[in-house]
Amino acid sequence: MTQTLSRPDGVPGGTDVNPLRAGVASNRITDPCNVVFFGASGDLVKRMLMPAMYNLRLGDIMPNNYGIVGFSRSEWDTDQFRDEMHKSIDEFSRSGPAKDPLWSDFAKRVSYVPGSFDDIAAFKKLKEQIDKNDEELGTQNNRLFYLSTPPSVFSQIIGMLEQAGLGPRNNPKGWTRIIIEKPFGTDLDSARALQLEVGKVFDERQVYRIDHYLGKEPVQDIMALRFANVIFEPIWNRRYIDCVQITAAETVGVEGRGGYYDNAGALRDMIQNHVTNLLALVAMEPPVTSTADAIRDEKYKVLCALRAMDPNKIMQDTARGQYDEGSIGGKPVPGYRDEPSVSPQSNTETYAAVKFYIDNWRWADVPFYLRSGKRLARKNSEIAIRFKSIPHKLFGETGDHIGNNTLVMKIQPEEGVSLRFSAKVPGPKMHIRSVSMDFNYGTGFGVVSAPAYERLIGDAMRGDATLFTRWDAVERAWEQCMPILERWQNSYDDSFPNYSAGSQGPPSSDRLLAAENREWRKI
């Protein structure tokens, strides 16, 4: 069944072509609002955020009345900004080039204010534009500010918003929210300092700290898998689980972001935020309700139960790597130290592996192995739950190895769930082999998942903070990572570069598991 949705403004909306989703309530956002992008001429807006806005409109999810305002240093006017955004959508939108009449209707709601982030006059112009939108586009004083700028100007923009009368306290007639891109701080102190500035202007419930991993459909499904099924919960604990392996492997290098990355490294860039969030979702207790805070409370408790790294065991419980030249997809690629804007003696890790323990009744003594790296053999993000070995071997011929059951939540590029279990090989003998049962979201539901940013911007417009990171969790994650960061920063790794681009990562990472008679799943 194909149903064309029409809207009160007469412009056709998206098409709902999926019978498997019949009965799923409309996703339309009800509150009118303005969305203001700071850093509007930057890459994120171009590649992700504006295409996301356009596709929200195409999918008939945008509210009837909305305005989009770009703010950045580029000396454009509104027409130029619209042209630029048209080009971005043509190039990057998942639904293909922008089409009329939808584009013309969308573009009418897009405006631009040029200015630098320390220019109060420009912020006042921004306020005029927002007020104008409220009058002309019916956006009813609701405002969502999106900081997609370098983190160094986050505090400044927040201060300027307040000074220009755009803070929440100056807007009693509508809501004011702010989305803050990662990284939220570069270490514990800077994160606390940033939070201090944020807290002067915004209440926690108005702050949406983005972690785009949480917007990925399979990540959201972790909770559904755990709490919408009865079969997993009884075995989701130390009695049955041997270890948990969380992997976020990439094939890309630093992609022109050498300047940023060389000061960050894999631990800050991926483990402290994305990978830690995955750990919290896998390990949390069932929340009391499905509200944002009930879920975030449980995630926070997991982070509180993480065992603090013993300073004497950091080198033993972690592994770091830096890629050398090698080949990806059959093409030669340079080593990290030869990337633009990277120091030729760089001590920055492009691969990090960490072993954590969660000290509570459910998880005591179950190792959680986390790893993330660039220029690895394959792009592969997944969470693997490896169950314990069978207690007593009844079946299988001599020499048959009975593998451990493993449940894998595949996040990307494949999206799905796979269960590995033992089966008898057909034939007269009782040979046992491991086999897999696979579920794939694309074929299962007949849809392609929307990109994370689309989901997350929509949620922030709705006021649903479930998939955003609360300050207490950010702070805990920094606290946990700081001892490792400090140790790594203060000790030069003579083995760098220690893995070839296109490989499985550094040997030290394999040793981390081999020391406990385990091995990583192949990337």
Q: Which residues are catalytic?
A: 274
Nearest to 154 by CA among 38, 272, 273: 38
Q: Which is nearer to ligand BG6, 252 or 364 (CB)?
A: 252
Site string for ligand BG6, 163-182 (x = CB under 6 A): -------------------x
Q: Rg (Cα) of the chain, in Å, rounded? A: 24
Q: How far is the CB of 212 from ligand BG6 (least distance, A)?
A: 6
Q: Which helix (H) or strand (E) holds 27?
A: none
| 3-state secondary structure (DSSP) of residue 153 | helix
CA-CA distance, 358 to 333, in Å (whole number)? Answer: 38
Q: How far is the CB of 327 from ligand BG6 (least distance, A)?
A: 19
Q: For residues 42-101, which are near ligand BG6 according to CB under 6 A?
A: none
Q: How far is the CB of 163 from ligand BG6 (least distance, A)?
A: 30
Q: How many residues bind ligand BG6 (CB under 6 A)?
A: 5
Site string for ligand BG6, 181-200 (x = CB under 6 A): -x------------------
Our measurement of the distance from residue 192's CA atom to the centroid of its chain's CA atoms, rounded to an integer in Å, reads 21
CA-CA distance, 85 to 91, in Å (whole number)? Answer: 10
Q: How far is the CB of 223 from ligand BG6 (least distance, A)?
A: 19
Sign of the C-alpha dihedral computed for residues 514, 520, 522 and 523 taken in this order: negative
Q: Which is nearer to ligand BG6, 269 or 349 (CB)?
A: 269
Residue type for position 127 = K
Q: For residues 200-219, which are near ligand BG6 according to CB under 6 A?
A: 212
Q: How far is the CB of 184 from ligand BG6 (least distance, A)?
A: 12
Residue type for position 4 = T
Q: Which is nearer to ligand BG6, 250 or 317 (CB)?
A: 250
Helix crossing, 292-305 with 471-489: angle to 10°?
30
Q: Which is nearer to ligand BG6, 57 or 182 (CB)?
A: 182
Task: Please give the order of strands across the beta sheet that includes 241-249.
Answer: 318-321, 351-356, 368-373, 241-249, 380-387, 406-412, 416-424, 432-440
Residues in the chain: 523
Q: How far is the CB of 381 from ligand BG6 (least distance, A)?
A: 6
Q: Which is nearer to ligand BG6, 211 or 298 (CB)?
A: 211
Q: Is 269 among the residues that bind ligand BG6 (CB under 6 A)?
A: yes
Q: How far is the CB of 179 from ligand BG6 (least distance, A)?
A: 14
* Residue nearest ligand BG6, CB atom distance: 269
Q: Is 339 among the residues that bind ligand BG6 (CB under 6 A)?
A: no
Tokens of 74: 């580029």
Q: For residues 401-440, which are near ligand BG6 according to CB under 6 A?
A: none
Q: Which is nearer to ligand BG6, 43 or 131 (CB)?
A: 43
Q: Which is nearer to ligand BG6, 269 or 324 (CB)?
A: 269
Q: Which helix (H) or strand (E) holds 242?
A: strand 241-249
Nearest to 177 by CA among 374, 509, 459, 475: 459
Site string for ligand BG6, 380-399 (x = CB under 6 A): --------------------
CA-CA distance, 186 to 269, in Å (whole number)? Answer: 9
Nearest to 250 by CA among 333, 328, 326: 328
Q: Which is nearer to ligand BG6, 86 or 182 (CB)?
A: 182
Question: Other C-beta atoms within 10 Å of 79: how many?
Answer: 11
CA-CA distance, 432 to 408, in Å (whole number)? Answer: 21
Q: Which is nearer to ligand BG6, 368 or 453 (CB)?
A: 453
Q: How far is the CB of 266 from ligand BG6 (least distance, A)?
A: 8
Q: Is 250 among the residues that bind ligand BG6 (CB under 6 A)?
A: yes
The CA–CA distances, whole Å, from 94 to 47, 78, 107, 108, 430 equal 10, 24, 18, 22, 50
Tokens of 1: 């069944």
CA-CA distance, 506 to 426, in Å (whole number)? Answer: 39
Cis ω before 183 (30° cut-off from 0): yes
- Sequence-distant (≥ 6) Cβ neighbours of residue 444 within 8 angstroms: 416
Contact present, 310 and 228 (Cβ < 8 Å): no
Q: How far is the CB of 259 from ligand BG6 (least distance, A)?
A: 13
Q: Is 262 among the residues that bind ligand BG6 (CB under 6 A)?
A: no
Rule CB under 6 A: which residues touch ligand BG6? Answer: 182, 212, 250, 252, 269
